[in-house]
Structure 1
Amino acid sequence: MREHSNEVPLTEFVDRFLRFETTDGDEAEAQSWLRDQFEAFGFDTYEWTADADRLASHPSFPDDSAEIRVADRPSVAGVVTFGDPDAGPTLVLNGHCDVVPVDRENWSSDPFDPVWSDGEVTARGAADMKSGLAACVFAVRDLQERVGDGELDGLDGRVVVESVVGEEEGGIGAAAAALDNPYPFDRDAAIVAEPTELRCVTATEGTVMKRLRLRGRAAHAATRWNGEDVLPHFERIRKAFFELESERSESVSHPLYDAFPIPWPVCIGTVRAGSWASSVAGTLTAECRFGVAPGETVDEVEEAYEARLAEVVAESDWLSEQPPTFERFSIQFEPAEIDADEDVVRSLQTAMGVTGHDTTDPVGATYGADSRHYVAAGIPTVLYGPGSIEQAHFPDETINWDDVETARETYTEAAAEFLLSG
């Protein structure tokens, strides 16, 4: 892949990008740097900040706008036009700059001091998803150069490369852009650079987040028979939830999810019970994540698990008298899917063939992504990017550099194909 004269190569760009510790809402410095890069590349630049009250009306986000952090969290974009931009389509190449926090003791190196070795780079955000976002930036530059060199005649339209904030918190920047277009032109399609192992993903799963609270009765360990241990009650509920997960794996089908051993997974990620080792556990709080299939709604799946909980409660005198609470918390992810015949899918698959991919049929993903916001806004959106979801949020997060370069080439070819097809 070509590098541009008088500019840093992609490796140096990614190295600098990875050094920004964009956790816990602290994206502003990285976004300012990125906007400066866009301007240096000659892109037209745009910036927007989400409105918390606007997001509070969105089903993904908490109803209380005070729980949505938007201050000093700009999303930025660079736009490049070709030929007569209004005569052709507009393609968005999207990525998020925020990363999840790290448990430094589980890393073998500083997570924000990239380690380059044996054709790989290790750092927080290497796979999820700063390398993919950087590949989008350089793909647009490559397309600019190819047009300037006369390789592509008759190219009309626009390519937008955008870096959004708060994806790990429900898609703050992308949701804002989907609800209120930050550009003075329409968007026809988008590619989100999530780590898909260079596969074309046309369906993403949804999730509903629920917090379960149980109340027992504490008692001294020496007379524990006077208490009501909350843990056996929780274990019955937990078993019932996983039984429903198994039932749904059989009853809810989707052709893009047949390969997954558990297509609509349940995860009980945190459990906090009791208050003292020498006391019967009298309280319990558990936080749960339930998978939502494309074609389902978050409300439908929530109701199914609420009904299963009600069955367990009805079988217990104690729980009937001390009913659990089971409420939404945090953020919700709606499922999303587009048709494999969409122009952006065909353009991406054509590009994958050009860059040497195994151009298999599109696949589904068991995670949610910002694509759902654009799909809901009527913008066909596909996921494609370097790296693996198995590295995302993981200690010593690593990506293969050849895959980043392949993604860069594929984004370039896909953008050219999409604009020419319009």
Structure 2
Amino acid sequence: MQQTAPLAPDASGSSTEPPRTLELLSRLIGFDTTSDRSNLPIIDFIADYLDGQGIAYRRSFNPAGDKANIHAVIGKPGPGGLALSGHVDTVPVEGQRWTSDPFTLREDSGLLYGRGTADMKGFVASCLAAIPDIKAANLTRPVHLFISYDEEISCDGARRLIEDMAESGWKPDLCLVGEPSLLAPITGHKGRLAMRVTVRGRAGHSATPARGVNAVQAAAKAIAWVAEEERRFATQGPFVPGFDPPHSTCQVGRMGGGTGINIIADLAWFEMEWRTVPGDDFFAEVDRLRAYVAADIEPAMKAVDPDSGFAFEVLNWIPGLALPEDHPLADTVRQLTGRNSAGRVSYGTEAGLFQDAGIPAIVCGPGNINQAHQGDEWIAVSELVACDRFIRQMATRVCG
């Protein structure tokens, strides 16, 4: 890794570089925490760091026991205060163009390259680096640190953390999710549901199509309906300003089926998603698709083979986020970031889950979401400097 030189002190005499943030980020980047792998090595590293700081924490595990969350509390363990939430799993690097090892932090001209720098190990490193200062501030309410698994695929880590919170009683009053937003406050994001649709037909020779049930063609009819739904959203809404686009969306991202061009396909599948604005319910949209299939596609299939038809499997879902613009948490984040307003985004986070658990949440973190999920992912050193300052100010303002 190219070494990052310490930044010069500012006019007040204090360093403008986050204490230990870059060192911690380098260590975090060194762990390959792609979502299909165990995250226990990085969790052990963070736990050792917390032990060295004398910080109380709980671990909670996934059913297989190969992934874990950490819920740490700076101050007296218990309810109340502010939570800082980040995930340490990342998307894969395969098939992407990297000019250096994605698991070795590299600095070049004020930019830090590596998988997870923006999404979102940079925020986690800044939170860990802030612990000594937060401890020394002797705040009147606790500062919680949530570190979760599987955000990139299901947010099941946050769900498990919420379950553990109910067991421990360590429930904060507010939550700041540090997803990359260029440190702009985000008070709303869309909900998302992903689903796999499997179609079972009846095989036969393509020369006698009436004797079989073509699963690929049945799936194609359903996919065409999804495309029509996408157009309906775009033309009829509902429309919610601030989102891009300002309406719900749906799309099919993967599909497959059939065994040969001269064989009636007896199996097909596709995977799709909805991203819904407030006012739209993705479960209701699932019901609309199921109703269309049952009324317009399956009757002809089952007339030939009663065992043919569609099966629907929800893969994962996360609720949308809708923090009122005049909520005190939104006011505080706007003041500390110098922003006059808050935004809304189309990507999802665990913030909606915390909101549904009774913890008002907002998204605000360093880095640009446009740099995430691609080769040569990066975050600017200046963004970490600003984040480090912001975290300390949030802790003091909310818990002081």
Q: What is the aligned-residue identity percentage? A: 22
Change (3 A) 1:319 1:15: farther
Q: Which residue type is aligned with residue 212 of structure 1?
A: V
Summarize the Cα distance change of 1:320–1:105 in structure 2 as closer, same or farther, 3 Å threshold.
Answer: farther
Alignment pair present for 1:35 and 2:74: no
Deviation at 1:174, TM superposition (A): 2.0
Q: What is the TM-score with the length of structure 2 in the denominator?
A: 0.83
Once the two structures are TM-superposed, the CA of residue 225 in structure 1 deviates from its matched residue by 6.6
Q: Within the alignment, does 1:114 sit opposite 2:130 as a pair?
A: no
405-414 vs 207-216, which moves further: 207-216
Distance 1:321 1:116, change over 3 A: farther
The answer to whether the aligner puts 1:130 opposite 2:130 as a matched pair is no
Q: Pairwise mapping of residues 270-309 of structure 1 onto structure 2 (< 5 A)?
A: 270-276=254-260, 279=263, 281-309=265-293
Q: Which amino acid aligns with 2:270?
A: A
**Residue of structure 1 in register with 2:337 after alignment:** 352
* Aligned AA (2:65): A
Deviation at 1:143, TM superposition (A): 3.9
Shift of 1:265: 2.2
SS in 1 for 2:371: coil
Q: Cα offset for 1:244?
A: 0.9
Tell me the residue number matched to 1:171.
Answer: 155
Do the aligned partners of 1:208 and 1:290 also contact (CA within 8 Å) in 2?
A: yes
Residue 6 of structure 2: aligned partner = none
- Taking the aligned partners of 1:365 and 1:272, their CA distance within structure 2 comes to 31
Q: Are 2:316 and 1:340 aligned?
A: no
Tell me, yes or no, if the aligned pair for 1:313 and 1:319 is still in contact at 8 Å: no
**Gapped regions of structure 2 (runs ≥ 5):** 1-8
Structure 2: how far apart are the matches of 1:141 and 1:264? 43
Aligned residue among 231, 254, 263 for 2:247: 263
Equivalents in 2 of 1:282, 1:302: separation in Å?
Answer: 24
Q: 1:71 maps to which residue?
A: 65
- Residue by residue, what CA displacement relative to the aligned partner does 1:138-166 show, whole Å, maximum 9, x if unpaired? 33444445x38xxxxxx521112221222
Assess if the C-alpha contact under 8 Å between 2:19 and 2:129 holds in 1.
no
Match of 1:103 in 2: 94
Check 1:394–1:267 CA distance in 2 against 1; reply closer, same or farther (3 A cut).
farther
Contact 1:338 1:381 in 2 (8 A): yes
Number of aligned residue pairs: give it: 383
* C-alpha distance after superposition, 1:30-63 (max 9, x if no partner): 01111111232x242212224x6xxxxxxxxxxx
CA change 1:239–1:338 in 2 (3 A) is: same
Partner of 1:211: 196
Residue deviations 1:178-220 (CA, integer Å, cap 9, x gap): 2342655441101011112322112222222222223455566
Shift of 1:130: 0.7
Q: Give unmatched runs, 5+ long, in structure 1.
A: 53-68, 149-154, 354-358
**TM-score, L = length of structure 1:** 0.79
RMSD (Å), alpha carbons:
3.2
Aligned counterpart for 1:392 among listed residues 362, 372, 375:
372
- Give the counterpart of 1:139 among 130, 136, 142: 130
Question: Contact between 1:351 and 1:417, CA under 8 Å: does it hold in 2?
Answer: no
1:320–1:220 CA distance, 2 compared to 1 (3 A): closer
Q: 2:178 aligns with which of 189, 193, 197?
A: 193
Are the aligned partners of 2:155 and 2:318 in contact in 1 as well (CA < 8 Å)? no
> Counterpart of 1:349 in structure 2: which amino acid?
R
Instruction: Give distance in 1, aligned partners of 2:247 and 2:381.
Output: 30
C-alpha separation between the residues in 2 aligned to 1:281 and 1:35? 52
More displaced stretch, 223-232 vs 132-141 = 223-232
In the alignment, the residues of structure 2 paired with residue 137 and residue 207 of structure 1 have an alpha-carbon distance, to the nearest angstrom, of 30
Question: In the alignment, is residue 156 of structure 1 matched against residue 133 of structure 2?
Answer: no
| Paired residue type of 1:81 | G
Instruction: Select which of 92, 107, 113 maps to 2:83.
Output: 92
